[in-house]
Amino acid sequence: MGPIELPLTRRGTKPETERSFTPDPEQAPVEDLREAIWELGREGEWIVQPVPEPYYEARTKYGRMKKIPLQKTWHHKSCGQCGHIPGYSTSIFWLNRLLHYDYFDPRDQTSCTAWNYYASATSNQAAQAAVAMRNFSSAYQTGYYPLIHCGTSFGHYKEVRHELVHDHALRRQVRDILAKLGRPFVMPEELVHYSEWMYAVRDELTARRVYDVSGLTATVHPACHYYKLQSGDAIYDPEIYGGQRTAAVTAVVQALGANVADYSTWYDCCGFGFRHILVQRDFTRSFATLRKIEVMKDEANPDVVLTHDTGCVTSLDKSQFAAQAHNRNVGVPVMSESQFAAIALGAHPYRVAQLHWHSTDYKPFLSKMGIDVESAWAEFQEDLKKLESGAMEYLTWEAVL
């Protein structure tokens, strides 16, 4: 007797419980640092960079409201996104341009260096804090406000901020280093991740949707460093899992009209491991496929896996190739919600979303959205010919918007 195909019952984002959760900032187990940040500013310990107006106010895990800047954003880029998933950052920029939002893409920016720190520990508290404050200082001097692309940068900077608020010796040490660099010592009022900006503009994005995505099902992997590190500072929404899980990514995908399906290992990490993804990938491959992709496939059979961090896209996308050789139940495209949203809003899948940098087969997903994949690839090949012949030096924004 052969295997029996069992019917799949997809679970959505409504909690399967009668219990409700009303967040109360007074009961939060983690402190709200904002008043301390302003107080240190008043005492002359640092300059506080306010969130530029107009801003969106979003609810966080324990009920406090967080200011999300809409414009005048200084884009703190991610090494991994820019390095090997460049459609990730390109899509964020493209969405800003589509909305006619003023933003700044800096060259005076280093990586947060936290990937290396969590991989090898070849750094320390003071160095990590100095790297963060050097970047914040650079943003302040341009008049734009930091918007952090990487989940690990966001989480690590929140840790650094916590340490700088509480440890005056560390604060003085880092302030002296910044002085040696000839830079002002600046702490932003809020630390903001790009997926929070996506959440803030989700209605504007939905109003500009080009493709009907209602036939698509996505599973969402919430990035550990986004909501587990300094957990009180992540966005939660009563409409998403009753406010019990972060609303980042899920709220945006639902607003765009796609179905988000639940799966049992949503809390598990992606298997990135920081060191493991580079030099011990047997662990990453096993975890990403056995604990994440296969579970998603078994329980929700999604058309696409969406997440909001560099490492998660990398682990979940790249790990599937080797698992296919073992006939595992894998084979689903993985991308950021910024790429998904950009494509849904009419961005070119190769010129903007740059899906040819991804390993998994994304073509059935694009076709299901109504995109002519062959024509899109042919258009991109024409661009490459022009670049090769010298007829065009670079693909420009004017050519893609």
Partner 1 sequence: MPSQLYQEVPLAEKERLFQLVKSDARFDSYLYGCYECGICVAACPSARFYDFSPRKITQTLAREDVELFYEQLNDDVWNCSQCFSCLRCPRQNSPGGLITIMREVAVNNGLKTTQEALAGYTRIIYKIMTTGTQVSPDMLQEDAFPDWGPQVKEVAANLELWRRALPPETLHTTGLSWDVEERTMHELYMIWKLTGVMDMITALDEGLHDIMEEIMEDALEDSGLTID
CA distances from 194 to 68, 70, 343, 386 (A): 9, 10, 17, 33
Nearer to partner 1, 33 or 51 (CB): 33
CB of 84 to partner 1, least distance (A): 6
C-alpha to C-alpha distance for 170 and 176, rounded to whole angstroms: 10
Residue position matching structure tokens 């790249």 = 318
Nearer to partner 1, 207 or 387 (CB): 387
Alpha carbon distance, N-terminus to C-terminus of the chain: 55
The two structure tokens encoding residue 143: 């008049």
Residue position matching structure tokens 């096993």 = 286
CB of 315 to partner 1, least distance (A): 10
CB of 33 to partner 1, least distance (A): 14
C-alpha to C-alpha distance for 65 and 73, rounded to whole angstroms: 19
CA angle 363, 311, 162 (to 5 degrees): 145
Nearer to partner 1, 177 or 200 (CB): 177
Nearer to partner 1, 61 or 67 (CB): 61
CA distances from 154 to 11, 192, 223, 257 (A): 30, 7, 11, 28
Residue position matching structure tokens 């460093």 = 225
CB of 257 to partner 1, least distance (A): 26
CA distances from 86 to 92, 143, 187, 298 (A): 10, 26, 28, 30
165 closest CA partner among 37, 314, 342: 37
Nearer to partner 1, 378 or 387 (CB): 387
CB of 220 to partner 1, least distance (A): 17
CB of 134 to partner 1, least distance (A): 6
C-alpha to C-alpha distance for 66 and 190, rounded to whole angstroms: 7
Nearer to partner 1, 195 or 254 (CB): 195
How far is C-alpha 135 from the chain's CA centre? 19
The two structure tokens encoding residue 160: 């650094």
Residue position matching structure tokens 């929404």 = 237
CB of 118 to partner 1, least distance (A): 4
CB of 312 to partner 1, least distance (A): 10
Strands (DSSP E) contained in 105-144 are none
Q: Is 148 helix (H, G, I), strand (E, B) or coil?
A: strand
CB of 126 to partner 1, least distance (A): 4
Other CB atoms within a 10 A radius of the CB of residue 24 amount to 10
Nearer to partner 1, 109 or 206 (CB): 109
Nearer to partner 1, 240 or 395 (CB): 395
Nearer to partner 1, 217 or 315 (CB): 315
